[in-house]
Amino acid sequence: MLEERLSCIDDYGLETEPRLRSECHKNPALLHRVIHVMVENSQGRILMQRRSQAKDIQPGMWDMAVGGHLIPGEVAYAGAVREFMEELGVLEQDVPEFVEMYQYTWITDIESEKVTSFHARSDGPFSPDEGEVDMIAFFSPVEIDELIQSKSVTPNFQYEWSLHRKWRKSPDIVLNDYPVFGICHCHRCERLTDFRCSIQGKGKLVKADYWNRPVPGFGDLNARILVVGLAPGAHGANRTGRPFTGDAAGDVLFRALYRIGLSSRPDGYARGDGLTLTDVFITNAVKCVPPDNRPKPDEADRCIDWFQMELDALANLRMIICLGRLAFESVRKSLIHRVGNSDNFKGVAFGHGVRFDPGSGLPGIGGLYHPSRRNLNTGLITSDSFCDLFEKLCKDA
C-alpha cells in the first residue's frame, strides 16, 4: 500500500512538492495543509469526537469532530466535504453548507499544519468510523469549557475553541500566523548558515542526526508567558530542532516549567518525546546557532522581523522572561522597534529576577541568568534558585 502524500505549502500558501506523511510528521519545516470542521447543531451544541484509545497520539482525548489532511491540489472546501462524509459517515445529499471561518498555523514539536477551519450546521444522523473514534457527542459551550478545565481535550482543540469564540464575536477575524515555514527556511545570514550546517556530533552524539536549520519556537499559542533565550545551542536545539532541548540549560528550564504546572514532563530530550507546554511558549531571539554563542549585531537585527511575527501570533502574551543579558537586550531592542520609540525603556537594564512593565500595551519583561552549564558549574545560579525566581516571574504575569 502506497504511503499517503500530503499537500505542503510555503509562506505564501503556494503548494510545494508533496511529501510523504511520515516525512511531514517528523519535520516541522514541512508545512502541510489541514482542514477542520466545527459542527454545530440546531440547539447551538458543538459536535466533538473522542479519539480512539488505540491512537498513538492523545488517545481518549476529546477533539474536533472533523479534521484531516488535504490531498495535493485539492481546494480546502472540497477537502472539508470529503472529510465530513468520510469521518461522520454522511451521504453526499446530506452534507450541509460550510462557511470558512479562518486560517492559522498549528505547530507541535514534530509537525506544522496550515489549518483552514469551517463551520457547518447539522443534526445528523452520523455513523462515524469505529476504528478511528471511540464516540461522538454534542456539547454545550459551558460543557466544553469544563472539558478544557479537566484537561480532557487535545491542545489543538483548546486553541481552536479560543479562535472559534473570537470568530463568533467578529466573523471578519484576521489571525496573525506563526511564521514556522519562513523561520525554518531562512538563509539571511551567510555566516550563520555556513556554521550551523557544518556542525556534526562527537563522542556519544557522533551518529546523531542534526537539525542544522534555524530553530522555530515551540509551545502554547494561547500562552501568557514567553521564554526567550539568545540562540540555539550547537548540540542542543541545533541538534534536536526544538528550543532548549537536549542540553543542560533545557534540563533546568523544563524542570522549572514542570514544577509550576506549565510542562507535561520535567525533562525534554528530543522532538516527539511527548512534552507539551501549557500557557508558555519558548523561542530564541536569534534562530540560528552562532559561532562561540555570540551572534553579530547585524545578525541579531535580521532576526527582529521573525520575533515581531512571533509576538503578533501570541495574542494573549503578558510576560516575556529573558534568559541572559544578551537575550534581554535583543528583546528590549525588538520592543522599542515595535512601538517606534525608546521613551518607555529609559533606565531599563538586565538584572537577575528583575521585572519591568514598559506600558503602551506591551507585555512585561523579566530577566534571569541563563541556566547554562557554565553558570551552574560556577555557582552563579543553582537549579533550585532559578526555579524559585522563574516561578515568581510567572506569577506576576
Question: In this structure, what CATH number is given to the domain that contains residue 45?
Answer: 3.90.79.10
Helix/strand/coil for 319: strand
Residue 254: domain span: 203-395
The domain that holds 362 is classified in CATH as: 3.40.470.10
Residues 247 and 304 grouped into a single domain: yes
This prediction has a pTM of 0.92
Residue that terminates a domain, selected from 164, 195, 225: 164
Average pLDDT, the chain: 93
Helix/strand/coil for 137: strand
Q: Is the pLDDT of residue 396 over 80?
A: no
Does residue 171 form part of some domain? no
Does residue 184 form part of some domain? no
Residue that terminates a domain, selected from 112, 145, 164: 164
Residues 304 and 386 grouped into a single domain: yes
Residues 253 and 124 grouped into a single domain: no
Does residue 193 form part of some domain? no
Contacts (Cβ under 8 Å, ≥6 apart) of 60: 50, 51, 53, 134
Of all residues in the chain, what percent carry a pLDDT higher than 90? Answer: 84
Residues 225 and 341 grouped into a single domain: yes
Residue 5: φ, ψ to 5° = -105, 135
Residues 207 and 71 grouped into a single domain: no
Number of domains in the chain: 2
Residue that terminates a domain, selected from 164, 180, 212: 164
Does residue 173 form part of some domain? no
Contacts (Cβ under 8 Å, ≥6 apart) of 193: 187, 288
Helix/strand/coil for 3: coil
Q: Is the pLDDT of residue 100 over 90?
A: yes
Residues 160 and 289 grouped into a single domain: no
Does residue 227 form part of some domain? yes
pLDDT of residue 95: 96
Does residue 250 form part of some domain? yes
pLDDT tens column, 349-375: 999 999 999 888 899 999 999 999 999
**Residue 105 CB coordination number (10 Å):** 19
Does residue 132 form part of some domain? yes
